[in-house]
Amino acid sequence: MATIFQGVGAATAFSASNSFDSQKLHLPSRRSLSERKASIFVVRSDARVNQARNGGARRAESLISTAVATKPDSSAASTSSKPGHELLLFEALREGLEEEMDRDPSVCVMGEDVGHYGGSYKVTKDLAQKYGDLRVLDTPIAENSFTGMGIGAAMTGLRPVVEGMNMGFLLLAFNQISNNCGMLHYTSGGQFKIPIVIRGPGGVGRQLGAEHSQRLESYFQSIPGIQMVACSTPYNAKGLMKAAIRSENPVILFEHVLLYNLKERIPDEEYVLSLEEAEMVRPGEHVTILTYSRMRYHVMQAAKTLVNRGYDPEVIDIRSLKPFDLYTIGNSVKKTHRVLIVEECMRTGGIGASLTAAINENFNDYLDAPVVCLSSQDVPTPYASTLEDWTVVQPAQIVTAVEQLCQ
């Protein structure tokens, strides 16, 4: 516990390579955190919030509720008049998975409670009744076994979707993912393809404790042969799910536990997104902010304040964690000449560290200031809600970082 307090109090939000004053990064006060009302939010990706009072709710996620884009753009436009249908993010994942199972009989699902229970977050709800127990296979609590079984099934021509009930549990299958999933295509001399999708919830939730708040993208990014993507809206969740299933490569799809109830109107027509493209969330001129997953909404909340103070940030959801879309990122860097990376991943060896290195190697001549990276602190995620918030990047820190970066 002493280690946690020491790490939380340090406010180590900036990388050591820059000259900014990290002491100016003000964390939320204890008073402001304790005064939160207990509520349940259904957050729309167009920034509209449905709120219901609930005295039994753990606490409101106020950081996301006002996450809006100040500058008009397609991602923030009202969806009420658009054609299509509204879905929550977990429903969009399910719809994408169901469409692919209808299209291709080789697609199957396996994992703990994915069958008649419908998955821990209902992504596979009712699929067992529709496709049967062989295509939607409930497994024992043995991640190493059923992940290995999924890899073997992919070698024989199936397209398995393996669900980890929580991303932290997939550490038990790290050997299968690293030594088999990522390498078999190469070590077999191209005789085998491994078209497998490994997906599940992760990230810092609401008082889930350290073991259930893992961000494993930093663990998996170094494995050769694996692609990684992170969804952040119902639209890209469905499109990335379909693309991952159709890919001939093993793909890890990261879903954030706090985004499953995000609502958005998506097209009725079929669509598939690229696994290697970033999304321009908000065009701007003064600074490039690169982010992904839940931090997209913290950044957009900060963007509202920044615009009111005269700044024009460009926000990019990188989506593809491996490989990076250096074309989109590079064009933005050449325009703004300043880069801020905001991630929920851990500071040491995280996605932000790899992205910083890639930008410095490829676009150093276009930078007018060092790349700044805001990451979660290198401490186990505390259970206490106040401490939990202090370990993760908050919108106020993003505002301060941009102000210092643009000086």
Active site residues: 143, 212
Give the containing element (helix H, strand E) for 148. helix 143-155
Contacts of 218 (CB under 8 A, 6+ apart): 345, 346, 349, 350, 351
Tell me the DSSP string of 260-327: TT-EEEE-SS-----TT--EEEE--SSEEEEE-TTHHHHHHHHHHHHHHTT--EEEEE--EEES--HH
Q: Are 163 and 192 in contact (CB under 8 A)?
A: no
Q: Are 168 and 205 in contact (CB under 8 A)?
A: no
Q: Strand pairing partners for 41? A: 51
10 Å Cβ neighbour count for 80? 10
Q: Are 46 and 264 in contact (CB under 8 A)?
A: yes
The Cα 189–Cα 353 span in angstroms is 32
Q: Say whether the peptide bond before residue 323 is cis (omega within 30 degrees of 0).
A: yes
DSSP 8-state code for residue 44: B
The single residue listed with the structure tokens 């009420």 is 80
Q: Are 329 and 288 in contact (CB under 8 A)?
A: yes
Q: What is the chain's length?
A: 407
